[in-house]
Each structure stands twice: as C-alpha cells, then as structure tokens.
C-alpha cells in the first residue's frame, strides 16, 4: 500500500483537502492526515459534516495532531518512504513558515523535512491576490524542489456543478504525483 501525507491548513477551501483524502482512500492509499486547529474552524463554516463524520466514512487514514512533534511524520527517515506530501489547502502563513525553515507545528515540520529529503511536496495555495512576499515564498519552495499549485480550476471540461471544479483541482494535485484518476476530462485539442 502506497503512503501519502495530507495536511489541511486554515485557508478557505478545506473542501479540497477533504475531497483529496476521499479520493486517495478510494484509491487504497494509506493516508497520514494532519488537520490544523484553524482548518477545523474553517471546516465548520464551509462543510456540512464534522471531521469525525468524514473520517468515519473513509478507510486507511491515520490522524496526527498538529502539535505532535514526536509523530513519525516529523522524521526524514519515515517520510522518505512516502510517495508525496500534499498541503491542501495551504495558507500563505504555512507557505511562509515552510519557505523560511521555521517549524511552529507538525505541518511546517513535514513541509521542511519533505524538502530536505527530496520527498515530493505539493502546496495547494488557495488565497488571492498574491503579494510580492507570497510570490517570493513560492519561489523559495520551487527552488527547494517543491511544487506550487494554485487552486485554479479550468473550464474546458464544461463543469456543471461546484464538485466538478473541486474535482478538477484535486485531479491536478494527483497529477503532480502521477496518481491515476478519472476526476476530470483531459484536454483533447
């Protein structure tokens, strides 16, 4: 069973992280999940289900607490066994911490360790507009080997529902790690 870590931060758009873990669970991945305290607050505002209800409906998920620096995920010798790390959504605050090597919680530590160990790290940046500071931090992540993916759905697949837009973005996340899926119709020219 392939392993991934998914971190959900407090940026608006927690649905991207929730949908990502749903799809990865259906694809039989083992998922190590970290949900920040702020993400839990945003989830209450943006979703009909609680985190517990969501997790009870899925398989293969191991939940880690944001403050737990003793988690195996804090170790490079553990993360090198992972197919990749997703931070979805990634707040610009989390982006800044990781880009500057500062560890205030487990999510920041996972991001930093992924970069130093060359484990694929994908940050789904949800906020806009971007300031010069945001762009400089994104560039730092890219230069360190990470992937910046803005939450920008396309429209060539003619979405009919909000879920179609969410699935497009989640599909792009999966594409970064070459994970097969059928979440959106690909461009045919």
What structural domains does the chain harbor? 3-176 (3.40.50.1950)
Structure tokens at 73: 């995920």
Measured CA to CA in angstroms, residue 80 lies from 45, 97, 112, 148 at distances of 35, 21, 13, 20
- Per residue, the 3-state secondary structure of 48-80, as one string, reads CCCHHHHHHCCCCEEEECCCCCCCHHHCHHHHC
**pLDDT tens digits, residue range 137-146?**
999 999 999 9
Single pTM value for the model: 0.96
pLDDT at 188 over 90: no
Nearest-Å Rg of the Cα atoms of the chain is 15
Q: Alpha-carbon torsion 137, 92, 29, 4, what sign? A: positive
Q: Alpha-carbon torsion 160, 91, 39, 116, what sign? A: positive
pLDDT at 156 over 80: yes
Q: Average pLDDT of 175-189?
A: 92
The DSSP secondary-structure symbol of 124 reads E
**Model pLDDT, residue 185:** 87
**pLDDT tens digits, residue range 42-53?**
999 999 999 999
pLDDT at 93 over 80: yes
High-pLDDT (> 90) share of the chain, %: 95
């Amino acid at each position: 069973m392939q392993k991934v870590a998914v971190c959900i931060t407090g940026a608006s758009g927690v649905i991207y992280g929730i949908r990502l873990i749903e799809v990865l669970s259906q694809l039989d991945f083992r998922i190590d999940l970290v949900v920040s305290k702020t993400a839990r607050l945003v989830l209450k505002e943006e979703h009909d289900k609680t985190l517990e209800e969501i997790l009870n409906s899925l398989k293969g998920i191991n939940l880690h607490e944001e403050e737990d620096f003793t988690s195996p995920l804090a170790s490079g010798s553990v993360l090198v066994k992972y197919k990749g790390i997703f931070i979805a959504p990634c707040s610009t605050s989390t982006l800044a911490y990781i880009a500057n090597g500062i560890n205030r919680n487990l999510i920041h530590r996972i991001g930093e360790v992924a970069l130093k160990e060359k484990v694929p790290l994908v940050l789904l940046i949800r906020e806009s507009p971007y300031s010069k500071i945001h762009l400089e931090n994104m560039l730092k992540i890219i230069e360190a080997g990470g992937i910046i993916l803005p939450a920008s759905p396309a429209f060539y697949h003619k979405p009919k529902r909000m879920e179609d837009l969410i699935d497009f973005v989640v599909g792009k996340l999966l594409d970064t790690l070459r994970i097969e899926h059928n979440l959106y119709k690909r461009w045919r020219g």
